[in-house]
C-alpha cells in the first residue's frame, strides 16, 4: 500500500528516544508465551534494567541476567507512525494517500547476551555486617542493608539473587542482610548434628520446631537463624513442619569450616577432624571432592615431597576472566582439567562459555595423566 512520507515536526526533539532491542531466542520465547492465550501462565513478563552510575547496564528477567551491548548498523532504520496530533494537518494529501511521519532514525541496536549475575557486589555492600555468635554485643554497631536494597543495587535477577544469598550464607534478619560468620556456621552445623543424635531424630524427617527449640534452649541459636540454616542445607516442608537434611551439603560445609580455620592441613588430619565433626553416621559421606573449588594440594614446603591441602576459595579470586586466569597460573603453572574447572564455575554462564575461556587464556596439552592447561600469557610471580 502506498503512503505519503514526511518528517514529524517533533522528530528533532524525539531524536534518539527510540531503541531497538534484538531478543535472544529464549527471551523471545518467553515474551511470546506471556502474550499467548494458550500459555499455562499467560500475562505480562517483567524485565528490569539495572545499573548504578559508572556500571554497564544489564537487563534482568525473573531468573536470568543479560549484558546489554550496542551494535552499530550499516543501514539506518526509520521509526515511522501515524502523524502525532500536533501534525494533524499531515494526515492527508492532495493525492488522497494516507500519511506516515518519520519520528526517529536508528543507527544501532541493543544486543542482549546472557551473562553471570554480578553477585560479587554483595561482598562490598555487606562488608563489616557479619552475623556471629557475639551478635547481642555488636547489634547496635551494624548498618542496615536490606533485601530491597540488594534487589535494587545488585545486577542479578531475583532468582539469581536468592540463590546467591543462599550460597553465600547470607541471613535475612528483619529484612536486613547479614552474612553469617564461617566459625559460627560451623558451630551451628555441629550443634545440629549433635542434637539429631541426642534426640534420636531421623535426618530425613526432622521436626523443625523440635530442632529449632533445642538449638535455642541448649545453644542460644535464635530460631530465625536456625531455620534459615536448615533451608540452606536441605529441604523444608512448611506444610508438614519437617526438614530433610541434605547430607552432602552439611558434610561439605563442615569440611569447609575446618579447612578455612586451619588454612593448611595434612589430608589425613583433615579427614580425621572432619569425621569427628560429622560423627560416625555421616563419616562415610566425607570426600575431598566435596570441597572442589575451595582448595589446592601443594607441597608442605618448597623442599618437601609431603603434600598438604591448602584453603584456596573461589570467592577470593577476581571475577574478571583475564585476571582470574592470571591468578590461577601465578598460583600454579600447570593445572589438570579436573582441577581448574571448579575455579571457573562462577565466571561462565555454561560449560560452552567456560571452554571458550580455556581456549582463550590457556594452552591444552595431553599426556598419560590426562589434559593439562598452561598459560597463554607469561606472568611474573
pLDDT at residue 305, as a whole number: 84
pLDDT band per the 50, 70, 90 thresholds, residue 380: low
Residue 139 scores a pLDDT above 80? no
Find out whether 102 and 11 touch, Cβ atoms under 8 Å. Answer: yes
- Residue 381 pLDDT more than 60? no
Res 310: pLDDT: 97
* Backbone angles phi and psi of 254, in degrees to 5: -60, -45
pLDDT for res 96: 67
Rounded percentage of the chain residues whose pLDDT exceeds 70? 90
CATH 1.10.10 placement within the chain: 317-381
Question: How far apart (Å, rounded) are the C-alpha atoms in residues 196 and 230?
Answer: 13
317-381: CATH topology is: Arc Repressor Mutant, subunit A (1.10.10)
Lowest-confidence range among 37-51, 53-67, 99-113, 146-160? Answer: 37-51
Compute CA distances 104 → 19, 109, 196, 313, 323, whole Å. 10, 13, 68, 51, 42
Dihedral sign computed on CA atoms, order 148, 150, 153, 157 = negative
Q: Is the pLDDT of residue 44 over 60?
A: no
Radius of gyration for the chain, computed over Cα atoms and rounded to the nearest angstrom: 28
Average confidence score pLDDT of the chain: 89
Rounded to whole angstroms, the Cα distance separating 32 from 39 reads 9
Average pLDDT of the residues in 238-263: 96
What is the pTM assigned to this prediction?
Answer: 0.85
Share of the chain above pLDDT 90, in %: 70
Tell me which of 359 and 16 has the higher pLDDT.
Answer: 359
Residues 6 or more apart in contact with residue 78 via CB below 8 angstroms = 102, 104, 105, 106
Summarised one tens digit per residue, pLDDT across range 195-218 is: 999 999 999 999 999 999 999 999
The predicted structure's pLDDT at residue 303: 84
Categorize the per-residue pLDDT at 314 as very low, low, confident or very high, splitting at 50, 70 and 90.
very high
Task: Provide the pLDDT for residue 89.
Answer: 54
Q: How confident is the model at residue 190, as a pLDDT?
A: 95
Q: Does 307 score more than 60 pLDDT?
A: yes
CA angle 328, 122, 354 (to 5 degrees): 35
Amino acid at each position: 500500500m502506498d503512503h505519503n512520507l514526511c518528517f514529524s515536526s517533533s522528530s528533532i526533539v524525539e531524536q534518539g528516544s527510540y531503541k531497538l532491542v534484538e531478543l535472544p531466542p529464549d527471551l523471545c520465547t518467553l515474551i511470546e508465551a506471556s502474550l499467548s492465550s494458550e500459555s499455562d501462565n499467560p500475562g505480562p513478563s517483567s524485565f528490569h534494567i539495572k545499573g548504578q552510575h559508572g556500571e554497564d547496564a544489564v537487563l534482568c528477567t525473573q531468573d536470568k541476567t543479560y549484558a546489554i551491548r550496542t551494535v552499530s548498523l550499516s543501514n539506518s532504520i526509520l521509526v515511522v507512525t501515524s502523524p502525532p496530533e500536533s501534525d494533524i494537518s499531515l494526515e492527508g494529501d492532495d493525492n488522497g494517500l494516507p500519511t506516515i511521519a518519520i519520528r526517529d532514525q536508528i543507527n544501532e541496536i541493543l544486543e542482549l547476551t546472557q551473562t553471570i549475575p554480578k553477585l560479587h557486589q554483595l561482598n562490598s555492600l555487606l562488608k563489616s555486617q557479619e552475623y556471629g555468635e557475639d551478635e547481642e554485643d555488636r547489634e547496635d554497631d551494624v548498618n542496615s542493608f536490606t533485601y530491597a536494597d540488594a534487589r535494587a543495587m545488585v545486577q542479578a535477577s531475583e532468582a539469581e539473587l536468592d540463590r546467591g544469598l543462599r550460597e553465600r550464607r547470607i541471613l535475612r534478619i528483619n529484612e536486613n542482610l547479614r552474612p553469617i560468620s564461617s566459625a559460627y556456621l560451623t558451630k551451628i552445623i555441629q550443634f545440629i548434628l549433635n542434637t539429631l543424635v541426642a534426640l534420636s531424630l531421623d535426618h530425613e524427617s526432622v521436626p523443625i520446631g523440635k530442632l529449632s527449640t533445642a538449638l535455642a534452649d541448649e545453644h542460644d541459636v535464635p530460631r530465625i537463624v536456625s531455620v534459615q540454616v536448615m533451608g540452606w542445607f536441605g529441604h523444608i516442608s512448611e506444610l508438614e513442619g519437617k526438614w530433610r537434611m541434605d547430607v552432602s551439603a552439611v558434610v561439605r560445609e563442615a569440611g569447609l569450616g575446618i579447612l578455612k580455620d586451619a588454612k593448611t592441613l595434612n589430608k589425613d588430619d583433615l579427614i580425621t577432624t572432619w569425621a569427628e565433626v560429622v560423627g560416625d553416621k555421616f563419616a562415610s559421606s566425607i570426600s575431598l571432592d566435596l570441597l572442589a573449588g575451595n582448595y589446592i594440594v601443594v607441597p608442605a614446603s618448597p623442599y618437601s615431597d609431603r603434600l598438604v591441602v591448602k584453603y584456596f576459595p573461589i570467592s577470593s579470586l577476581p571475577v574478571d576472566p583475564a585476571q582470574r586466569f592470571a591468578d590461577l597460573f601465578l598460583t600454579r603453572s600447570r593445572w589438570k582439567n579436573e582441577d581448574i574447572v571448579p575455579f571457573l564455575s562462577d565466571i561462565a554462564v555454561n560449560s560452552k562459555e567456560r571452554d571458550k575461556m580455556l581456549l582463550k587464556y590457556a594452552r591444552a596439552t595431553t599426556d598419560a595423566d590426562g589434559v593439562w592447561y598452561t598459560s597463554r600469557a607469561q606472568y611474573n610471580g
